[in-house]
Structure 1
């Protein structure tokens, strides 16, 4: 990540850490087109993946949950990315937002749809089931619960398996957003928009307008 947690190059990893590294960089995330880089120019893991190296037994299983909800889910690609962006908006996580707006765009989300989610709103969606899923994801991210009406609508739209996977997805990306706050010093501004990094020496470093968070959070100048 950045000042709070230094990145580790592949030759600096223990055998256990290397297993986590290979699972992330050589698993399903590495297959096919890449919407955002998993490693930086030195080969260090980017974003919350870097923190997973701190505890290889836990990190290995955490990354496996993430791979499962992204690549082995009954949720459509658009529903998955809408839900992730709802979590990013609630937590004010610019890293998650930038990464998954890139993925979402590749999955067919429009700039207008993503802008509405970024602002904490519900865009007009042609597919009614997508709207139900996004409302459920937003409710889970913001309140941690569904009303009976929201539950019934989500089960009708997604099925019980789909709703279960949606709750796991929301929880997983909320966990990553928390790790970005702790280990990358990411701080939301008014819940949305620009974030701040807290240098190891203390004080506050505010990201300048337009500077890519995917680079800023790793100290790339």
Structure 2
């Protein structure tokens, strides 16, 4: 399936759209190492960001939420990226997988760990926060909740704030996966040609 929403050139944006564009391209996402490009060669937003321009009030709030869960969270970088990759694997989101595998590599995730998450296998993590993030992200994507035992284990490793931020992260990346399917033409795994 091809993209349904044409990529919007920066010069064609109205004032409200331009504000969202600047928040995405000039914010925290752009400040760090660029392991995946936010724009194409003409400056048009890639992936889920282009659709955020359709509704500047909602798109602006959504991009701010994404920046908060990536750059303002207490979650360790590797734990955060592992959780994002669990969501990407669950939804079959190639864009998010490719982008966040690149970020994960820059955070020290190994190819074996990335492959295990991509294939839905336990990645054999030694760090309790990383194990907790993967456990919680898998359960949240699979069942939409945490059993009492898992809740205790995850809060022991991440704290209640960390779990709150992790549940928000899982919901945010699930939202992006849906928007990528609807607007960018990303097919779910069961509909891809084999």
TM-score, structure 2 as length reference: 0.96
Query: For the residues of structure 2 that align with 1:73 and 1:3, how far apart are their CA atoms?
Result: 32
Q: Does 1:168 align with 2:147?
A: no
Name the residue aligned to 2:122: 122
| Runs (4+) off by over 2 Å | none
RMSD over equivalenced CA pairs, Å: 1.3
Deviation at 1:129, TM superposition (A): 2.7
Q: Does 1:93 align with 2:93?
A: yes
Query: For the residues of structure 1 that align with 2:140 and 2:179, how far apart are their CA atoms?
Result: 19
Name the residue aligned to 1:219: none
Structure number with higher strand proportion: 1
Q: Which moved more, 1:120-129 or 1:25-34?
A: 120-129
Name the residue aligned to 2:136: 136
- What is the count of residue pairs matched by the alignment? 193
Structure 2: which 5+ residue stretches go unaligned? none
Query: For the residues of structure 2 that align with 1:122 and 1:187, how far apart are their CA atoms?
Result: 25
Deviation at 1:187, TM superposition (A): 1.1
Q: Does 1:189 align with 2:189?
A: yes
Structure number with higher helix proportion: 2
Query: For the residues of structure 1 that align with 2:21 and 2:13, how far apart are their CA atoms?
Result: 9
Q: Which moved more, 1:14-23 or 1:137-146?
A: 137-146
TM-score, structure 1 as length reference: 0.85
Deviation at 1:126, TM superposition (A): 1.7
Query: For the residues of structure 1 that align with 2:183 and 2:114, how far apart are their CA atoms?
Result: 27
Structure 1: which 5+ residue stretches go unaligned? 197-205, 210-221
